[in-house]
């Protein structure tokens, strides 16, 4: 067990034998963890008096009667209802929620952005969030928002939770620490984290500046996609998802708690750190996942399958097979298909595709889609390889080829995505993006045979 030496170091539970330090493996497991011995009641949830004078409190992430229900029992120094003032609305003008349809902004189109640049401005997780697109409606818990974050400063005596959403965090540069009620998640590029709806946390900069992408999921929680005929292994394997062990701080200091609720931000003053959960058990918890453990399955003879084969996590929408959000990963892999145009095909899709580049080069766009950059191919708008990618791939010698040093992803939603004013006017949009297709030649001349 660690003892705190500075205000931001928490007392952390010992790690169960054989697991990565500070984390417990498994997707959606029913975990139990305690940072002080005997803090977790055994065999029951609500003893008349909890050990150490702790308060028992349940955090429900699904309806009580959902199947399966997801909830966590926390044993904490104070119940979280102990805050001293009412909530005051505050303004975080760059963090938008759906519906956010700006009459001056055209969302219909193919768009691409260079990385949003750091400035001299000091930015925290809250002030550094820049919404790029929104889809659906936060009030009916349908849809999503995509954001870029630029974070240079740790939150100090400042805590946050989103009642609106589960956050999928995809770092591109820098190392962040999510000190949450349920424990600590350290996060760096090539990893992702999921922060559940309702969970209080503080974000610290371990190595800055930090830039990355966030998909805010207003709907049902992310789950592992069914693998169907692929079977019980490959793609994202459950044991590679890691939930933190319990960690707490007993810290009395005037602090601010900010809540995102129905698209608006509110804050209240509290006299202590809310990260005071000494022990917990349950299946509603934050987790992280190392994208390098994703085992891609692909074409081993001919043709290019749909990108759904690369789904890491899927958030259902209620319509079977039609996700509110799919998180899809394009990582290093071998290309071996014979007599095949190997990059993505030209296509139109009812789903809206927002992509981000974590590092390297993406096969359909060898130039222009750079690390830290994003692109949007909105509902039913045609897109596909640029002229260079098309010419290269249709004339390539089709030997086995490793796509190396490449990691891009897609937030794919069944809902159209609307650009924010920031995305349309302030972010570094590439005005000439659609020119990447304009030189595609007509090869047809009425005579048979390949050209």
Ligand X SMILES: O=C(O)Cc1cc(O)ccc1O
Binding site as annotated, residues for Fe cation: 347, 353, 383
363 touches 386 (CB < 8 A): no
Based on CB atoms, which residue is closest to ligand X, 13 or 355?
355
| b/e map 392-425, b = 16+ CB within 10 Å | ebeeeeeeeeebeebbbbbbbbbbbbbbbbbbbe
> Quick one: which of 35, 123, 277, 364 contacts ligand X (CB under 6 A)?
364
Based on CB atoms, which residue is closest to ligand X, 266 or 304?
304
Residue 282 CA to residue 296 CA, distance in Å, equals 30
The binding site for homogentisate consists of 362, 383
Residue 52 CA to residue 75 CA, distance in Å, equals 10
Count of all residues that appear for the chain in the document: 451
Sign, CA torsion 296/415/212/194: negative
> Quick one: which of 130, 260, 383, 418 contacts ligand X (CB under 6 A)?
383
> Quick one: which of 377, 379, 403, 416 contacts ligand X (CB under 6 A)?
377
Total number of residues that touch ligand X (CB under 6 A): 9
Residues 226 to 285 in contact with ligand X, rule: CB under 6 A: none
Range in contact with Fe ion (rule: CB under 5 A) among 76-84, 112-120, 152-160, 347-355: 347-355
Report the nearest approach of Fe ion to the CB of residue 395 (Å). 22
The binding site consists of 347, 353, 362, 383
Based on CB atoms, which residue is closest to Fe ion, 353 or 363?
353
Strands 264-272, 201-217: pairing kind? unpaired
Report the nearest approach of ligand X to the CB of residue 372 (Å). 17
Based on CB atoms, which residue is closest to Fe ion, 61 or 385?
385
Structure tokens at 392: 């290269």
Based on CB atoms, which residue is closest to ligand X, 364 or 393?
364
Total number of residues that touch Fe ion (CB under 5 A): 1
Q: Which does 260 bind (CB under 5 to 8 A by kind): Fe ion, ligand X, none?
A: none
Report the nearest approach of ligand X to the CB of residue 375 (Å). 8
Q: Which does 410 bind (CB under 5 to 8 A by kind): Fe ion, ligand X, none?
A: ligand X
Strands 322-335, 311-319: pairing kind? antiparallel
Report the nearest approach of ligand X to the CB of residue 356 (Å). 12
Cα dihedral 397, 399, 404, 407 in deg (nearest 10)? 80
Report the nearest approach of Fe ion to the CB of residue 190 (Å). 23
Catalytic residue among 8, 175, 304, 377: 304
Based on CB atoms, which residue is closest to ligand X, 56 or 307?
307
Residues 222 to 241 in contact with Fe ion, rule: CB under 5 A: none
Residue 74 CA to residue 28 CA, distance in Å, equals 17
Cα dihedral 149, 10, 265, 271 in deg (nearest 10)? -150
Q: Which does 136 bind (CB under 5 to 8 A by kind): ligand X, Fe ion, none?
A: none
- Say whether 304 is catalytic: yes
Based on CB atoms, which residue is closest to Fe ion, 249 or 353?
353
> Quick one: which of 153, 353, 363, 386 contacts Fe ion (CB under 5 A)?
353
Range in contact with Fe ion (rule: CB under 5 A) among 58-66, 278-286, 353-361, 414-422: 353-361
- The mark string for 59-98 relative to ligand X (x by CB under 6 A, - otherwise) is ----------------------------------------
Report the nearest approach of ligand X to the CB of residue 389 (Å). 10
Nearest position to ligand X, beta carbon: 344
Nearest position to Fe ion, beta carbon: 353
Residues 399 to 418 in contact with ligand X, rule: CB under 6 A: 410
Report the nearest approach of ligand X to the CB of residue 341 (Å). 11
Residues 301 to 360 in contact with ligand X, rule: CB under 6 A: 307, 344, 347, 349, 353
Cis peptide before 99 (omega within 30 of 0): yes
Residues with a known catalytic role: 304
Which residues lie near ligand X (CB under 6 A)? 307, 344, 347, 349, 353, 364, 377, 383, 410
Which residues lie near Fe ion (CB under 5 A)? 353
């Amino acid at each position: 067990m660690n003892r705190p030496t500075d205000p931001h170091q928490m007392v952390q539970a010992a790690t169960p034998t054989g697991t990565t330090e500070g984390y417990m493996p498994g997707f959606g497991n029913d975990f139990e963890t305690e940072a002080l011995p005997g803090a977790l009641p055994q065999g029951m949830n609500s003893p008349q008096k909890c050990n150490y004078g702790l308060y028992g409190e349940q955090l429900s992430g699904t309806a009580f009667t959902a199947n399966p229900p997801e909830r966590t029992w926390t044993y904490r120094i104070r119940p979280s209802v102990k805050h001293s003032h009412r909530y005051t609305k505050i303004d975080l003008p760059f963090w938008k929620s759906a519906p956010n349809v700006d009459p001056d902004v055209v969302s219909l189109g193919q768009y691409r952005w260079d990385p949003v640049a750091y400035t001299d401005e000091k930015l925290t997780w809250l002030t550094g969030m820049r919404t790029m697109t929104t889809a659906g409606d936060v009030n009916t818990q349908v849809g999503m928002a995509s954001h870029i974050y630029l974070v240079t400063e740790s939150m100090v005596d400042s805590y946050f939770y989103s009642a609106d959403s589960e956050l999928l965090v995809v770092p591109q540069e820098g190392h962040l620490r999510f000190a949450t009620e349920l424990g600590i998640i350290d996060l760096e590029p090539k990893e992702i984290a999921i922060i559940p709806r309702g969970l209080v946390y503080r974000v610290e900069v371990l190595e800055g500046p930090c830039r990355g992408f966030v998909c805010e999921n207003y709907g049902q929680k992310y789950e592992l996609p069914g693998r169907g005929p692929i079977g019980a292994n490959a793609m994202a394997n459950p044991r590679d998802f890691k939930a933190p062990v319990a960690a707490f701080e007993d810290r009395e200091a005037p602090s601010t708690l900010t809540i995102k609720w129905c698209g608006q931000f509110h804050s209240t003053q509290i006299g202590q750190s809310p990260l005071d959960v000494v022990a917990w058990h349950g299946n509603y918890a934050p987790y992280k996942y190392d994208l390098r453990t994703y085992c891609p399955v692909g074409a081993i003879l001919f043709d290019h399958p749909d990108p759904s084969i690369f789904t890491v996590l899927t958030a259902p929408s209620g319509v079977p097979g039609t996700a509110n959000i799919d998180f899809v990963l394009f990582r290093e892999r071998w290309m071996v298909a014979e007599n095949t145009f190997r990059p993505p095909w030209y296509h139109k899709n009812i789903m809206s595709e927002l992509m981000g580049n974590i590092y390297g080069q993406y096969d359909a766009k060898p130039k222009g889609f750079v690390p830290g950059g994003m692109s949007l191919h909105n509902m039913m708008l045609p897109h596909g390889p640029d002229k260079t990618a098309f010419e290269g791939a249709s004339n390539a010698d089709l030997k086995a080829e490793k796509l190396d040093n490449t990691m891009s992803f897609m937030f794919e939603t069944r809902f159209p995505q609307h650009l924010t004013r920031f995305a349309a006017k302030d972010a570094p949009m590439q005005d000439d993006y659609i020119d990447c297709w304009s030189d595609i030649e007509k090869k047809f001349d009425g005579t048979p045979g390949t050209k």
